[in-house]
C-alpha cells in the first residue's frame, strides 16, 4: 500500500470525471 499511488489514482479519477462531464456538456 503506497500513499503516492493512491493520490495519483484519485487525481486520475477526478480528471476522468472532469473530461466525461465536459463531453456530456458538449452533446
Please report, for the chain, the start and end positions of each structural domain, with discontinuous segments joined by +.
1-27
Residue 1 banded pLDDT, cuts 50, 70, 90: low
List strand residue ranges (DSSP E) for the chain, in order: none
Would you give the DSSP letter of residue 21?
A: H
d(CA 16, CA 5): 16
Its pTM stands at 0.57
Residue pLDDT, tens place only, 4-26: 999 999 999 999 999 999 999 98
Q: Report the alpha-carbon angle 12-21-19, nearest 5.
A: 40
Amino acid at each position: 500500500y503506497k500513499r503516492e499511488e493512491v493520490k495519483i489514482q484519485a487525481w486520475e479519477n477526478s480528471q476522468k470525471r472532469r473530461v466525461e462531464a465536459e463531453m456530456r456538456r458538449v452533446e
